[in-house]
Chains A and B, each alone.
Chain A
Amino acid sequence: MPKDGGIGTSPKRREDIRFLSGTGRYTDDINLHGQAHAVFVRSDVAHGRLNGIDTEAAAAMPGVIRVFTARDFEGCGGVPCGWQITSRDGSVMQEPKHPILAEGKVRHVGDPIAVVVAETLAQARDAAEAVMPDIEELPAVVDMKAAVAEGSEKVHDDLTSNLCYDWGLVEDNREAVDRAIKDAAHVTTLELVNNRMVANPMEPRVAVGDYAAHSDESTLYTTSQNPHVIRLLMGAFVLNIPEHKLRVVAPDVGGGFGTKIFHYAEEAFCTFAARALKRPVKWTSTRSEAFMSDAHGRDHVTKIELALDAENNFTALRTETYANMGAYLSTFAPSVPTWLHGTLMAGNYKTPLVYVNVKAVFTNTVPVDAYRGAGRPEATYQLERIVDKAARELGVSPIELRRQNFITEFPYQTPVAVEYDTGDYHATMDKLLEITDHAGFEARAEESKRNGKLRGFGIAHYIEACGIAPSNLVGQLGARAGLYESATVRVNATGSLSVMTGSHSHGQGHETTFAQVVAEMIGIDADQIDIVHGDTARTPMGMGTYGSRSIAVGGSAVVRAAEKVINKAKKIAAHLMEASEGDIELKDGQFTVAGTDKSVAWGDVTLAAYVPHNYPLEEIEPGLEETAFYDPANFTYPSGGYGCEVEVDPETGHVEVLGFAAADDFGNVVNPMIVEGQVHGGLAQGIGQALWENCVYDADGQLLSASYMDYAMPRSTDLPMFKVDHSCVTPCTHNPLGVKGCGEAGAIGSPPAVVNAVLDALNRGGHAVDHIDMPLSPARVWAAMEAARANMGAAQPAARAQETAGGRSVGTP
């Protein structure tokens, strides 16, 4: 009989009732007595010397309480960076100061210069227009390769250059890789751009600072994925507020996608201003501000080379990537193109030699940091594109070329530092080909041809490292934080539970899934269990949610804490039933003594714990509340095969996605419905990156795609019904639930599948195009076909869609 609750079932998301009925409590819903409103004055130029700021007129305007500039933050720290990378030559990365408000220079469009705090939002806006910064415009640094050339204008005058770091993995393999490529039977080379993304969570960022003079305590309400991290960074490094005097609350948060991990200047500002003014200060980002102040994602320019032997075995892989950091180092920015990217360059393949080089570059653009997938989509994209290109060059099936090189034995130590614990890539490939009806593709392609369309099929396989990760390992890699997770299980006298987790839900559905896990362990209804998150005053020190880590790390902490509770409860039950502790079993909310008909209910035991009249007080303390901190032994390694079927209109270049299928191995799954929803969302974002989304700067550093008029988001009508399967299961070997995490997979695996499908369609239609950079807009696809047409008669090599060899990942149509 199928289960109707617990692990593996799909109860509806309990939090959706409040989200869908307008009773959620988002940060902007928080309005405190006496609250003042902050409006930021932002730079409208990409780069300039800030010679002064005239705030006099603004300060005199109606309702204005105070105008803040950098001068007010003397004695405070800058926005800190949480990860330090060491370059190939052993030197540490260049780390510029990131002031709360611009000091001396403005470095990107949107860089905050001053803040007006006024009685009303309208008054603050009016006065913000009267703030007059004196900016002497400087040439903008936009192109990454030009930025690191000799004599380039510098984003930060006090650094030696615009190069943040020059990193290699694994440096000892470099020569062997070079040699293998030189000696290879075949080398496939590809230059590509991973386009810059704007995360666009539905809820823009908001910060409300509050200060209680009677206790000298500050509270920050903020749209964050990790309130404890914000408390630590802001308290210790920016404002010098000890953690016991600082509370950070991240209530309902309407989507994060990475961009709400980071500590932002606006959070520090509102906390600081509330102390300075002795009244609450609120800032709510406009959508326009979000485009120019939320950390962006991706933005890599890469050259990748794959070497193969005469039997088409991969023998070596070499990459050189320029990674855009933007104007300042956002919280985890340095880790994304390095440890979250280089370590994944082996992919699903047993390539014996891999060398990854990454040059991180400062430019006059919005800082770039983690965005759904963070480094792993960039790795997967390169790898899955070059494997397809190699297959085309060699005239072999891209499916068979992948299969031939799949890793099949686990654990597998890659040449790029990580060890995959488990996986079965042939199984996900088999499943993918089944659910995409690959056997029927040729017939469908014929049908398209009759309708004047070009049909194509593309696949991609991915591996990702999730459940980030063992603290001691990330510490060695440069993390300035631990990456465990915490949980407290508090059992109430009547048997209901509050589970306080350090994970944070901003759409993931933890209130449903974490409750399922605990309900399963104890055997009680999930509605007896409340999940508490997002408040440093209510939850143990936790690291928050990103990197698909919640169920793998946070869920494991919940399991460990619940196990402690159950072990103690068994002791109490043993006492109550006068039995040996070792004979006690807990099932369906009943404690029984093995081999007898004795039983006591969960509620009887919990009551005894808090009313300890008949209780082993000499052996154990009263009460039933336990905390666990879980630090995993390794990353988890979800993997899967994705397939995309498209139709290209050869006259316009328009791409229609006709079908998309995902065969994922997430290990064990707690709530299949939620997992499918996560994959759906990830696919929409990944397909969005492949076909529509593009953050574009011009050569002067002006943000061209600064609104939804020019930044194309995927819409439901653009997407087909997805086929999502997670029946291939190789459980994670090192966490108690055997789970791997599913939040990012869709965004990681889908872009190369889409691009491979479009190129397959074009080549089947006689257009010899070997690459088009994302997004594959109709204009780009058409231009690629035109270029290929122009080259056809001239015996030239297959045409490039456009120049990508330059350091600009931005600015081209």
Chain B
Amino acid sequence: MYDFDYDRPGTIQDAVASLKAEEAIAFSGGQTLMPTMKQRLAMPSKVVSLMGIEEMKGVRLEGSEVWIGGATTHATVQRELAESYPAMASLAGRIGDPSVRSRGTIGGSVANNDPSACYPAGTLASRGVIVTDRREVPADEFFQGMFMTALEEGEIVTAVKMQVPERAHYAKFIQPASRFPLTAVFVAKFADGVRVAVTGASEMGVFRWHEAEEALSSSFDAGAVEALATPDGTDMISDLHGSGAYRAHLVKVMTKRAVAAA
């Protein structure tokens, strides 16, 4: 790790000001950032921790909408949503291990947009909206490809809002080493349609499988997925853990399983 300055502001306003420093970086749990810095693969001049900002913490249910503060840990989401949105609680409870879940946050996860992260799929499927210090961005526009988001320089994810679906499930097939999704699918059924969001599979990061959404919107059962062609594997990740064709196959299998379990 290289030397860096450290700041732990107490308000969003102070955090935004602090992040104006050159090469400053926001810290929201650090479960990706810390290993990266330890490996000397990142050398921020300043680390601005968001973990002291109370207004960015907690989970609130407002009608059919869930508000999750950006600095809320996975463990808190798992606990707080157990009754009101069990599929999302289950997603949070299966990220990493207890240590990761007690430190990592939803804001950090969506801002990083790792192509194999869990929250981007859950957020996208739940018709999520990413709330930042300056605006609100629908998840469909926020996630823009592998590690790419709509965030501007110094912009902070302060909260994530989601619609609670009628039925939902997150089916995750893990990569045996990292235990990140090799391919995982979040299926969310709303009164007026179904969303199917896929993580771990595509070179383009999290994406919606529109054909499956269409089929499931008219008939919400696994058979409707079975009848679909396997997605095209050409843009799928191919690495030592599985080919693009395998991941494409898993997209279909995991979608079926998510529907069956929803």
Q: Residues of A with Cβ closer than 8 Å to B? A: 125, 129, 288, 651-652, 654, 691-692, 694, 696, 704-705, 708-713, 777-779, 782-783, 813
A777–B249 CB distance below 8 A: no
CA distance A713 to B179 in the complex (A): 11
Mark each residue of chain B from 218 to 256: 1 if its CB lies under 8 Å from any CB of chain A, else 0. Answer: 000000000000000000001111110010011001000
Closest A-B pairs by Cβ, 9 of them? A779-B242, A712-B177, A712-B176, A709-B178, A779-B246, A651-B253, A692-B176, A696-B240, A710-B177
Could you tell me the distance between the alpha carbons of A625 and B181 in the complex, rounded to whole angstroms? 62
Q: Does the CB pair B246–A782 fall under 8 Å?
A: yes
Assuming the contacts A704-B240, A778-B242, A813-B239, asked whether A652 and B176 have C-beta atoms less than 8 A apart, the reply is no
Among B170-184, those with CB < 8 Å from A are 173, 176-178, 182
Nearest B residue to A125 via CB reads: B40
| Known interface pairs A778-B242, A782-B246; 12 further A-B residue pairs with C-beta atoms within 8 A, sorted by A's residue number | A125-B40, A654-B173, A696-B240, A708-B178, A709-B177, A710-B241, A712-B177, A713-B177, A779-B241, A779-B243, A813-B240, A813-B242
| CB of B102 within 8 Å of the partner chain | no
Q: Decide: A652 and B238 in contact? CB cutoff 8 A.
A: no
B176-207 vs A, CB cutoff 8 Å, 1 = contact: the mask equals 11100010000000000000000000000000
A710-B253 CB under 8 A given contacts A813-B238, A813-B241? no
**30 A-B pairs (CB sep. < 8 Å):** A125-B40, A288-B39, A651-B253, A652-B173, A692-B177, A694-B240, A696-B240, A705-B240, A708-B177, A708-B178, A709-B177, A710-B177, A710-B178, A711-B177, A712-B176, A712-B177, A777-B176, A777-B241, A778-B182, A779-B242, A779-B243, A779-B246, A782-B246, A782-B249, A783-B246, A813-B238, A813-B239, A813-B240, A813-B241, A813-B242
Which residue on chain A has the smallest CB distance to residue B252?
A: A651
Contacts of B177 in A (CB 8 A): 692, 705, 708-713
Chain A CB within 10 Å, residue with most, of B39, B238, B241, B253: B241
Residues of B contacting A654 in the complex (Cβ-Cβ under 8 angstroms): 173
Q: CA–CA, A652 to B176, complex, Å?
A: 13
In the complex, how many angstroms separate the beta carbon of A807 from the nearest chain B beta carbon? 18
Distance between Cα atoms of A777 and B243 in the complex (Å) = 12
Smallest Cβ distance from B56 to chain A, in angstroms?
28
A652 to B249, CA, bound (A): 8
Q: Which residues of B contact A777 (CB under 8 A)?
A: 176, 241-242
* Minimum distance in angstroms from A157 CB to a CB of chain B: 31
**In the complex, A651 Cα to B173 Cα: how many Å?**
12
Report which of A288, A652, A704, A783 forms a contact with B253, defined as CB distance below 8 A: A652
| Nearest residue, chain A, Cβ from B177 | A712
Q: Chain A nearest CB: distance from B104 CB in Å?
A: 15
Specify the chain B residue showing the minimal Cβ separation from A715: B179
- Residues from chain A with Cβ under 8 Å of B241 in the complex: 710, 777, 779, 813
> In the assembled complex, how far is the CB of residue B228 from the closest CB belonging to chain A, in whole angstroms?
15
State the main secondary structure of chain A at its contact with B. loop
Instruction: Return chain A residues, CB-CB under 8 Å to B240.
Output: 694, 696, 704-705, 710, 813
Chain A residues in 8 Å Cβ range of B246: 778-779, 782-783, 813
List the B residue with the shortest CB-CB distance to A691.
B176
Distance, CA A288 to CA B173, complexed state (A): 27
Q: Give bound CA distance, A276 to B167, whole Å.
A: 71
Q: How far is the CA of A692 from the CA of B174 in the complex (A)?
A: 12
Bound-state Cα–Cα, A558 to B249, Å: 60
- Cα A696 to Cα B176 in complex, Å, equals 15
CA distance in complex: A694, B241 (Å): 10
Q: How far is the CA of A183 from the CA of B194 in the complex (A)?
A: 66
Q: What per-residue 1/0 map shows which CB atoms of B147-184 lie under 8 Å from chain A?
A: 00000000000000000000000000100111000100
What is the chain B residue whose CB lies nearest that of A704? B240
> What's the minimum C-beta distance from A195 to chain B, rounded to whole angstroms?
12
CB B175 to nearest CB in A, in angstroms, measures 8
Q: Give Cα distance in the complex from A779 to B241, angstroms.
A: 7
Residues of B contacting A711 in the complex (Cβ-Cβ under 8 angstroms): 177
Chain B, Cβ-Cβ closest to A713: B177
Nearest Cβ in chain B — how far from A515, in angstroms? 38
Is the beta-carbon distance between B242 and A652 smaller than 8 angstroms? Answer: no
**Distance between B146 CB and nearest chain A CB, rounded to angstroms:** 16
List residues of chain A with CB within 8 A of the CB of B250.
652
**Chain A residues closer than 8 Å to B40, beta-carbon distance:** 125, 129
| Minimum distance in angstroms from A744 CB to a CB of chain B | 24
Enumerate chain A residues within 8 angstroms of B242, measured Cβ to Cβ: 777-779, 813
Which residues of chain B are within 8 angstroms of A779 by Cβ–Cβ distance?
241-243, 246
State how many angstroms separate the Cβ of A412 from the closest Cβ of chain B: 41
Q: How far is the CB of B166 from chain A (nearest CB, A)?
A: 26
Complex CA gap A696/B243 in Å reads 15
Complex Cα spacing A166 to B238, Å? 37
Residue ID in chain B nearest A810 by CB atoms: B240
Roughly how many angstroms separate A696 CA and B242 CA in the complex, as a whole number? 13
Question: Nearest B residue to A711 by beta-carbon distance?
Answer: B177
The distance in angstroms between the C-alpha atoms of A694 and B239, with both chains bound, is: 13
Chain A residues with CB under 8 A of B253 = 651-652
Residues of B close to A288: CB separation below 8 A: 39
Q: Which chain B residues lie closer than 8 Å to A713 at the CB level? A: 177
Given the complex of chains A and B, what is the CA–CA distance between A779 and B39 in angstroms? 30
A553 to chain B minimum Cβ distance, whole angstroms, is: 37
- Residue of B176, B238, B239, B246 with highest tally of chain A CB at under 10 A: B176
Contacts of A691 in B (CB 8 A): 176
Known: A288-B39, A652-B173. A783 touches B243 (CB 8 A): yes
The CA-CA distance from A709 to B249 in the complex, in Å, is 23
What residues on B are CB-neighbors of A710 within 8 Å? 177-178, 240-241
How many angstroms between the C-alpha atoms of A767 and B76 in the bound complex?
A: 45
CA distance A598 to B240 in the complex (A): 75
Most buried by B among A129, A709, A779: A779
Cβ < 8 Å to A, chain B residues 14-72: 39-40
Q: How far is the CB of B184 from chain A (nearest CB, A)?
A: 12
- B178 partner residues in chain A, CB cutoff 8 A: 708-710
A798 to B177, CA, bound (A): 31
- Chain B neighbourhood of A696, CB < 8 A: 240
Which residues from B are CB-within-8-Å of A709?
177-178
A651 to B178, CA, bound (A): 22
Residues of A within 8 A of B249 (CB): 782
Q: How distant is B234 from chain A, measured CB to nearest CB, in Å?
A: 16
A711 to B178, CA, bound (A): 8
With the chains together, A801 CA to B173 CA distance in Å? Answer: 22
Say how far B170's CB is from chain A's closest CB, in angstroms: 16
Across the interface, which residues of B come within 8 angstroms of A782, CB to CB?
246, 249
The complex places the Cα of A125 from the Cα of B173 at a distance, in Å, of 38
A813 to B240, CA, bound (A): 4
Q: How far is the CA of A33 from the CA of B176 in the complex (A)?
A: 44
Q: Which residues of A contact B238 (CB under 8 A)?
A: 813
CA–CA, A343 to B173, complex, Å?
42
Q: Which residues of A contact B39 (CB under 8 A)?
A: 288
Kindly name the residue among B177, B239, B241, B243 whose own CB sees the greatest number of chain A CB atoms within 10 A: B177
CA distance A751 to B18 in the complex (A): 55
Which residue of chain A is the closest to B247 with respect to CB atoms? A779
What's the least CB distance linking B230 to chain A, in Å?
11
Closest CB-CB distance, B112 to chain A, in whole Å? 15
| Contact between B243 and A813, CB atoms less than 8 A apart | yes
Closest chain-A Cβ to B150's Cβ sits at a distance in Å of 27
Distance between B116 CB and nearest chain A CB, rounded to angstroms: 10
How far apart are the CA atoms of A692 and B241 in the complex, in Å?
A: 10
Q: In the complex the two chains form, what is the Cα distance from A710 to B178 in whole Å?
A: 6
- A779–B246 Cα gap in the complex (Å)? 6
Q: What is the CA–CA distance of A712 and B241 in the complex, to the nearest angstrom?
A: 10
Most chain B CB within 10 A, of A129, A713, A777, is at A777
Cα A777 to Cα B182 in complex, Å, equals 12
How far is the CB of A733 from the nearest CB of chain B, in Å? 44
How far, in Å, is B157 (CB) from chain A's closest CB? 24
For B238, the closest partner residue in chain A by CB is A813
A788 to B238, CA, bound (A): 21
A783 to B246, CA, bound (A): 8
Q: Which B residues lie within 8 Å of A694 (CB)?
A: 240
A626 to B44, CA, bound (A): 63
